[in-house]
Structures are given as structure tokens and as C-alpha cells.
Amino acid sequence: MNVAVTTQPKRKPSFGDWLKTLTFYELLVGMKATLTHLLNYKPITLQYPHEKRLLPDNYRGMLALLRYDDGTEKCVGCDLCEAACPSRVIRVVSGEVPGEPTKRYSKEYYMDMTRCLFCGLCVDACPVDALGMTREFEWAVYDKRQLHLNKQQLLAIGDRSFPVREKRLELQHPNVAFFNVTFKHLPQKEN
């Protein structure tokens, strides 16, 4: 099997090639962006405490517990946020409402924000939207024990970050009131 291989004759370097090699032309082309910035310098520094950076819409900051518009807590103590947390930051102690064994609430709620990954899995796992990610990021402290937050501190963060609250579930859906799930003063539905 004969294969004819054609070779091109070597090109003689021209004077322009020699001049580009001598003047480091490729290096100057590579430094063009640096030289442009050097000649047209405009500072982009923000004076931090006085000027704050605009945060993106999907920013995930400090976690907060939320309330309904009448001031009652949204958390029903289901412990799903505790189960969903990959770094085991959340600890919930739940209890039952006296006289109503089907209703639960969180007696105690703790978060260790020193270990939080700010992943948002706890917010996604909550069935009643009792947790929210705020836009707060300024949490520098001298003692890390100050970042072990309890229920009252988390509710205060939620009140500060989410001033607009939603109505209770039974007030949002008229069918719940019709079937007498929550309103005790309404008569029972006839069968």
C-alpha cells in the first residue's frame, strides 16, 4: 500500500516575523486588557458601612421563624426541618395543644448558626412555610455562643425581616370554615 505524502516546503521567516519576535508582540497583545484598565482606571470600591452592595434575588441569609398576621406562630412542630437539615443545625421540641391532641406546636426551637450551610433545605421541607431565609448577612460576633439562637430570637428576626404577613390558613380558604375544622362557634355540618 503506497500512500503519497505531500510535504509543503518550509516558509522562510519574513522581516515582519522577525520584528514581532524581537518586540514581544504576543506579550503586548496579551497585556492589552491590563494596559486598558491601567489607563482608564475607575474605582469600584464601596464604602461598606455607608454604602451596601445590592444583593441578588436568590440570596440566602439568616434563617427566621415566621408568624401569621394575628401574631400566632406558623410552626406546627412537625420536625421536618430538623430531619431535612444536612448539618443538624436545628433542634425542635414539639408539644400538643391541651385538649386537642391533633394540634401541635413547637415548645422550643433552637438553631446553631455557626454550623449552618444556608442551603435552604429546611425552608423547602416546611409544610406551613414557617421558616424563611432573610437577606441579613451582618452577623459578626466576638463570641460564637451568641449565634446559638432560640425561638424568641428567631421570631424577632422574622418580625424584622418579614413585616408583611399572611393570614391564617383557615381564613385563606373558605372551605375550611365550612367544614368546621377550626371554628368552634359554627354548627356542625349536617350529614
CATH number assigned to the domain comprising residue 160: 3.30.70.3270
Q: How confident is the model at residue 190 (pLDDT cuts 50, 70, 90)?
A: low
Q: Are 124 and 84 in contact (CB under 8 A)?
A: yes
Domains of the chain: total: 1
Residues 6+ apart with CB under 8 A from 166: 68, 69, 172
Q: How confident is the model at residue 166 (pLDDT cuts 50, 70, 90)?
A: confident
Binding residues for [4Fe-4S] cluster: 75, 78, 81, 85, 116, 119, 122, 126
Q: Answer yes or no: is 103 within a domain.
A: yes
What pLDDT shows up at residue 27? 83
Which of 97-101, 139-143, 184-188 shows the lowest per-residue confidence on average (mean pLDDT)? 184-188
Domain that holds residue 77: 63-175
Binding residues: 75, 78, 81, 85, 116, 119, 122, 126
Q: Answer yes or no: is 77 within a domain.
A: yes
pTM of the model: 0.67
The strands making up 90-97's β-sheet, listed across from edge to edge, are 90-97, 100-112, 148-149
- Percent of the chain exceeding pLDDT 90 equals 45
Q: Answer yes or no: is 158 within a domain.
A: yes
Q: Are 63 and 136 in contact (CB under 8 A)?
A: no
Q: Answer yes or no: is 50 within a domain.
A: no
